[in-house]
């Protein structure tokens, strides 16, 4: 925890701007929270009296609930403001919505928005911390942090590990944040999938691009699947579901292509029978539910660190 | 409270599988909570630090709010996940949704679902307690328990009491759970209503079936009305509202058919002028609002008992 | 705080029935809460263990969230029951809905309803406090109180101050509550806008009515803008947006018509470029965000006072 004092950001907007050391401070913080939570199944009093607003202007259950649980485990109060119920339908600008929420004496804003850059834009006008919970096709930093946490929990370190991200990468904020996080932590990243979804230009981000499933996964230490979004099937980028599954779905037969101890990851919700078969999703190699559990600890860590910079007066995070 | 230690179930799925003694343990627990709450209007610290997820995949305000209030009176944190906002619309299986909620470090899941059997199915895969808040036409156990609690509060015991359940029984989970609870507690139950809504085959459950209003209620110690669901009027089972009210509606004139001290119950929301007239709903015989209040105590009791089995380490439920 | 003991109302239904002294008790209470909150950014334990139900039968994000934050700052538990999700769609009467909520052992009901008079009607049947959060075109008392608080914070007193309310006044509960509050506190009020939206008959309430923008604002100490409701444009009362903005919109040029130290207020959400230009909304004269912040303190004050009458046993509101 001695490193927590080195954290100097009020906001968490994306992984792109973080240094490796900053990522490691968050992961170290998360590790402490995970240990405490598991030991006692109790809340920690860290953010008692703080009001955190969950501003979800794009629908999401999974991420919203994860942030809500994490905030409550820190003893904060959580107020949820969701999508269509917001004043934005009445013509208010995003900046005004955020300034109003801050004026309500909110201490932190967790924000999901369909437009890339929305949290960054707001962070200039808002004094309290803004945590990006997913903005358009830009970043989803806490997802990448929980993924990295889960991998390090198994591997000890990501240095030199080979991670393959497989699926609908083109517009994926999860992929983008993971590419930044994994490469900064020393992993070798391969992006795999049909060429319409995984364009060559991603190679500029310092990763390999591969359009053949077997080649892309045979040396991987972990395969990170992305959700195939059924709703995107009508676009020209996307093949039919059946075609995708035939070429890139992970099934029992293809399991043989993987190294024996390779891990399987997925940000959820999974489409059984589409991007992954049940045999694999439920196997011992799958760390999908670990990812969910680690998401609580990682978000507690992020909230603690950013609130500390904002307040400059937080007590020690954990009861002794 | 000494009997609480005899409770051994992690989940509350239905009344059918409970023994009479188990039902009585819940009711005894509820009685303690009711007394404490009434005395101080305060929360009890019993479930402090626990996170309870209200998973309502079928819309409901009344039951959802009752569970939320009960959980908060026990000092638990409550996170609500509702119907269409859930990941299920994205093609996730129910089992995956529940495993994910558990992985969020939830300590208990309160679940309403439109499919009979959904909570039972999940309870096999989920380690934390699952409380059924209504599943299809199967059971609504906490409603039956609060009804039994309300009757015993007035009568002392249900042994030999005559209870008539009146109305749309065919697909009613409330009726089904009440039949199990009341008969196990020693009451004599009569089901009444038009033959399309109250088929003879219910007699196999150890109850009387009667299609004449006067006959069915004249010896009753309590008449439990069910809500007439206007939305079902289009089906072939259901007569017109006017016809139903003419034959089976409870009104001032028919009040004379009842014994002088017979109680009137209703799970709400009531349709004034349809299944019951205002004179009766608001009379001294009506215990409708007592049912609502008792629902809080009963749900606190159920949550305390099931969490105790899950944790095997809860403190005494009430502050001394 | 010594004046708090003079407060004798269980409910806050409207400003019309309050005396000047009662209004001042609320504002004094709010001032204490604001000071405490600002000093420590902490919750006060005043309503610990109380359950407050936010019954919003007409959609609203802004006011609902403000009450939720205020209640949580007082350490109360908040349960939200919203609009279409309510039992009212199932045919339950409003009175039954409210009696049921009370029976759930709620300690206070915050209520928004589309029908004028709904909270007043319910307050006769409900024992616990009812706070009106806006009822049809009748009143929105906490909005007027926070407006008065904001003005007094700047001016010290409203005695003799000239306040102009500008815009769509005809059906505005905000205007109505403000007229009562401001005149009772000694201000001179002018209503301004097109004659279709500001009929002469308002003069009976002891205010000036003016249909010329320049005349109405040139001597004002504060101009209180009302939101132009785009959705009302189809009615015969309402001119086109362009026409309204041309004649009554506040812009940089018209700023010269105002006194140098005149304040600009708006209940939000604002329509930039319609009733007010960005230059003005963001200028030093605008107290729009102060209004939002003060709304928390005012609502804390109202809840504290009404709960005190209901309970007759609250401790001192603030930690010493």
pLDDT, one tens digit per residue, over B258-282 is 999 999 999 998 989 889 999 899 9
By C-alpha distance, the chain A residue nearest C43 is A49
3-state secondary structure chain C: CHHHHHCCCCCECCCCCCCHHHHHHHHHHHHHHHHHHHHHCCCCCCCCCCEEEEEECCCCCHHHHHHHHHHHHCCCEEEEEEHHHCHHHHCCCHHHHHHHHHHCCCCEEEEEECCCCHHHHHHCCCCCCEEEEEECCCECHHHHHHHHHHHHHHHCCCCCCEEEEECCCCCCHHHHHHHHHHHHCCCEEEEECCCCCCCHHHHHHCCEEECCHHHHHCCCCEEEECCCCHHHCCCCCCCCHHHHHHHHCECHHHHCCCCCCCEEECCCCCCECCCECHHHHCCCCECHHHHHHHHHHHHHHHHHHHHHHHHCCCCCCCCC
For chain B, helix, strand, coil in percent to 5 are 45, 15, 40
Residue C83 C-alpha, separation from nearest chain B C-alpha, in angstroms = 10
| CB–CB contact A85 C293 (8 Å) | no
pLDDT tens-place string over residues A36-73: 888 766 789 999 999 999 999 988 889 999 999 999 99
Distance between CA atoms of C229 and C237, rounded to whole angstroms?
12
Structure tokens at A161: 């590990």
Angstrom distance (rounded) from CA C125 to CA B144: 28
A263-265 vs A222-225, strand pairing mode? parallel
* Chains adjacent to C (≥3 CB pairs closer than 8 angstroms): A, B
Residue A319 pLDDT more than 60?
Answer: no
Contacts of A2 (CB under 8 A, 6+ apart): none
Task: Indicate the Cα dihedral angle B255, B260, B261, B266, nearest 10°.
Answer: -10
Res. C25: pLDDT tops 70 = yes
Mean pLDDT computed over A6-10: 95
pLDDT in tens, C98-155: 999 999 989 999 999 999 999 999 999 999 999 999 999 999 999 999 999 999 999 9
Give the Cα separation of C298 and C74 in Å (integer).
12
Q: Mutate which of B45, B80, B105 to test chain A, going by most A C-beta atoms within 10 A?
A: B105
**Cα Rg of chain A (Å, integer):** 19
State the distance between the two ends of chain C, measured CA to CA, in whole angstroms: 13
Q: Which helix (H) or strand (E) holds B113?
A: strand B108-113
CA distance C179 to C187: 9
| Nearest CA distance, C53 vs chain B (angstrom) | 10
Q: What is the pLDDT of residues A70-94, one digit of tens each?
A: 999 999 999 999 875 455 556 688 8
3-state secondary structure chain A: CHHHHHCCCCCECCCCCCCHHHHHHHHHHHHHHHHHHHHHCCCCCCCCCCEEEEEECCCCCHHHHHHHHHHHHCCCEEEEEEHHHCHHHHCCCHHHHHHHHHHCCCCEEEEEECCCCHHHHHHCCCCCCEEEEEECCCECHHHHHHHHHHHHHHHCCCCCCEEEEECCCCCCHHHHHHHHHHHHCCCEEEEECCCCCCCHHHHHHCCEEECCHHHHHCCCCEEEECCCCHHHCCCCCCCCHHHHHHHHCECHHHHCCCCCCCEEECCCCCCECCCECHHHHCCCCECHHHHHHHHHHHHHHHHHHHHHHHHCCCCCCCCC
Per DSSP, B119 falls in state H
Specify the DSSP class assigned to residue B212: -
Residue B75: closest C-alpha in chain C: C49
- C150-186 pLDDT, tens digit per residue, is 999 999 999 999 999 999 999 899 999 999 999 999 9
Q: What is the pLDDT of residue A217?
A: 97
Q: Which residues contact C137 (CB under 8 A, 6 or more apart)?
A: C116, C171, C172, C173, C176
Q: A208 to chain B nearest CA, in Å?
A: 30
Contact criterion met (CB < 8 Å) for B269 and C77:
no
Quote the pLDDT of residue A229: 73
State the pLDDT at residue C42. 74
Cβ contacts (< 8 Å) between C97 and chain B: which residues? 269
The residue among A59, A269, A271 with the most chain B CBs within 10 A of its CB, best to mutate, is A269
- Closest Cα partner for A74 from A268, A292, A313, A305? A305
CA distance B59 to B195: 29
Q: How far is B63 from chain C (nearest CA, A)?
A: 10
CA distance B191 to B168: 10
**Tokens standing for residue A114:** 């369909």
Classify domain A2-139+295-311 by CATH architecture. 3-Layer(aba) Sandwich (3.40)
Distance of CA A26 to the CA centre of its chain: 13
Task: For domain C2-140+292-311, give its CATH number from 3.40.50.1370, 3.40.50.300, 2.20.25.10, 3.40.50.2300.
Answer: 3.40.50.1370
Write the residue in A40, A269, A292 that is nearest to B103 by C-beta. Answer: A292
Compute φ and ψ for C162, nearest 5 degrees: -105, 120
Region A141-291: CATH code:
3.40.50.1370
In whole angstroms, give the CA distance from residue A6 to residue B45: 37
- Alpha-carbon span C94 to A134, nearest angstrom: 40
How many residues are recorded in chain A? Answer: 320
Q: How many cross-chain Cβ pairs, B to C, lie less than 8 Å apart?
A: 70
pLDDT at C4: 86
- Cross-chain CB nearest to B62 (options C87, C91, C105): C87
- Determine the distance in angstroms separating the CA of A86 from the nearest CA of chain C, rounded to an integer: 6
Query: What's the gap in Å between the CA of B269 and the closest CA on chain A?
Result: 26
Instruction: List the single residue in B43, B65, B270 with the smallest CB-CB distance to C104.
Output: B65
Which residues on adjacent β-strands are paired with residue A56?
Answer: A82, A112
Q: Which residues of A touch B77 (CB under 8 A)?
A: 43, 69, 72
Order of strands across the sheet that contains C51-56: C77-82, C51-56, C108-113, C130-135
What tokens does A15 get? 């992984």
Whole-angstrom Cα distance, residue B158 to residue A49?
Answer: 48
Q: Say how far apart CA C47 and CA C30 lie, in whole Å.
A: 15
Interface residues on A facing B, Cβ-Cβ cutoff 8 A: 37, 40-43, 59, 61-62, 65-66, 68-69, 72-73, 227, 230, 268-272, 274, 289-290, 292-293, 295-296
pLDDT band for position A320 (cuts 50, 70, 90): very low
Chain C residue numbers with beta carbons less than 8 Å from the beta carbon of A95 are none
Report the side by side order of strands in the sheet with B51-56. B77-82, B51-56, B108-113, B130-135
pLDDT of res. B38: 83
Query: Does the beta-carbon distance from A293 to B105 stay under 8 Å?
Result: yes
CB atoms within 10 A of CB B68: 25
pLDDT band at C277 (very low <50, low <70, confident <90, very high): very high
Query: Is it true that B2-138+295-311 and B141-291 share their CATH fold?
Result: yes
- Taking the CA of residue A43 and the nearest CA in chain B, the distance in Å comes to 5
Structure tokens at A263: 């891990």
- Give the whole-angstrom CA distance, residue C195 versus residue C312: 48
Q: Are C102 and C109 in contact (CB under 8 A)?
A: yes
Instruction: At B158, list the tokens.
Output: 């249900």
Mutate to test the interface with A, among B53, B85, B95 (most CBs of A within 10 A): B85
Report the C-alpha gap between C3 and C28 in whole angstroms: 8
* pLDDT at site B241: 82
What are the backbone dihedrals phi and psi of residue A50, each rounded to the nearest 5 degrees, phi first? -90, 145
Inter-chain touch C68–A79, beta carbons under 8 Å: yes
**Pick among B98, B103, B109 to test the A interface (most A CBs inside 10 A):** B103
Region B2-138+295-311: CATH code: 3.40.50.1370
How far CA B157 is from CA of A8, B20, B152, B187, in Å, comes to: 66, 13, 5, 9
Q: Which position has the token pair 């009752």?
A: B66
Across the interface, do B295 and C100 touch by the CB < 8 Å criterion? no
Look at residue C319 in the predicted model and tell me its pLDDT: 47
Interface residue of C69, C80, C241, C298 to substitute, partner A, most A CBs within 10 Å: C69
Whether residue B126 is preceded by a cis peptide bond, meaning omega within 30 degrees of 0, is: no
Chains that touch B (3 or more CB pairs under 8 A): A, C
Does residue C37 carry a pLDDT above 90?
no
Residue B307 parent element (H or E) = helix B288-311
CB pairs under 8 A between A and B: 70
B244: left (phi over 0), alpha (psi -120 to 50) or beta: alpha
β-strand partners of A78: A52
Q: Kindly list the residues from chain A whose CB atom is less than 8 angstroms away from the CB atom of residue B107.
A: 41
Q: Can you give the residue ranges of every domain in chain B?
A: 2-138+295-311, 141-291
Find out whether A181 and A154 touch, Cβ atoms under 8 Å: no
- Report chain B residues touching chain C, CB-CB < 8 A: 37, 40-43, 59, 61-62, 65-66, 68-69, 72-73, 227, 230, 268-272, 274, 289-290, 292-293, 295-296
Examine the pLDDT at C256 and tell me if it is beyond 80: yes
Q: Tell me the β-bridge partners of A161.
A: none
Of C42, C61, C268, the CB nearest to A81: C61
pLDDT band, very low/low/confident/very high, at C266 (cuts 50, 70, 90): very high
Q: Are A188 and A221 in contact (CB under 8 A)?
A: no
Are C214 and C166 in contact, with CB atoms under 8 Å apart? no
Q: How far B98 CA lies from chain A's nearest CA (Å)?
A: 11
**Per-residue pLDDT at C187 exceeds 70:** yes
Edge-to-edge order in the sheet of strand C188-192 = C208-210, C188-192, C162-166, C222-225, C263-265
Q: Residues of chain B whose pLDDT is less than 70? A: 1-2, 40-41, 84-91, 230-239, 312-320
Question: Which residues of chain B are within 8 Å of residue A68 when distances are taken between CB atoms?
Answer: 79
Position C218 scores a pLDDT of: 97
Q: How far is CA B232 from CA B33, B116, B152, B227, C102, in A?
A: 37, 18, 33, 11, 29
Residue of B55, B75, B86, B92 to mutate when probing chain A, most A C-beta within 10 A: B92
Banded model confidence at residue A241, pLDDT cuts 50, 70, 90:
confident
| Residues whose CB falls within 8 Å of the CB of residue B164, separated by 6 or more in sequence, listed in order | B189, B190, B191, B192, B210, B216, B217, B220, B222, B223, B224
Q: At what angle do helices A20-40 and A141-155 cross, to 10 degrees?
A: 70
What is the per-residue pLDDT across C282-293, written as a single tens digit (0 to 9) for each?
999 999 999 999
């Amino acid at each position: 925890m001695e490193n927590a004092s080195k954290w100097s950001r009020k906001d968490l907007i994306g992984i792109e701007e973080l240094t490796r050391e900053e990522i490691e401070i968050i992961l170290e913080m998360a590790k402490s929270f995970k240990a405490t939570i598991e030991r006692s199944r109790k809340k920690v009093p860290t953010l008692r009296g703080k009001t955190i607003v969950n501003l979800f202007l794009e629908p999401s259950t999974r991420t919203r609930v994860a942030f809500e649980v994490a905030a409550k485990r820190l003893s904060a109060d959580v107020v949820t403001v969701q999508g269509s119920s917001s004043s934005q339908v009445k013509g208010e600008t995003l900046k005004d919505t955020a300034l109003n929420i801050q004026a309500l004496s909110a201490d932190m804003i967790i924000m999901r928005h369909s437009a890339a850059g929305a949290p960054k834009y707001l962070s200039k006008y808002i004094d309290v911390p803004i945590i990006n919970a997913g903005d358009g096709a830009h970043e989803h930093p806490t997802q990448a942090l929980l993924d990295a946490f889960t991998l390090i929990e198994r591997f000890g370190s990501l240095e030199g590990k080979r991670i393959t991200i497989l699926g609908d990468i083109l517009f994926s904020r999860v992929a983008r944040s993971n590419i930044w996080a994994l490469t900064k932590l020393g992993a070798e990243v391969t992006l795999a999938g049909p060429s319409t979804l995984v364009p060559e230009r991603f190679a500029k981000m310092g990763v390999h691009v591969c359009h053949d499933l077997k080649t892309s996964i045979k040396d991987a230490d972990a395969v990170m699947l992305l959700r195939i979004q059924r709703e995107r099937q009508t676009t020209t980028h996307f093949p039919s579901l059946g075609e995708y599954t035939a070429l890139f779905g992970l099934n029992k037969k293809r399991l043989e292509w993987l190294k024996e101890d390779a891990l399987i990851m997925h940000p959820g919700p999974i489409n059984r029978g589409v991007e992954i078969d049940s045999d694999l999703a439920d196997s011992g190699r799958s760390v999908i539910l670990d990812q969910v559990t680690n998401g609580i600890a990682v978000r507690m860590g992020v909230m603690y660190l950013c609130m500390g910079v904002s307040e400059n007066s937080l007590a020690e995070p954990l009861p002794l």
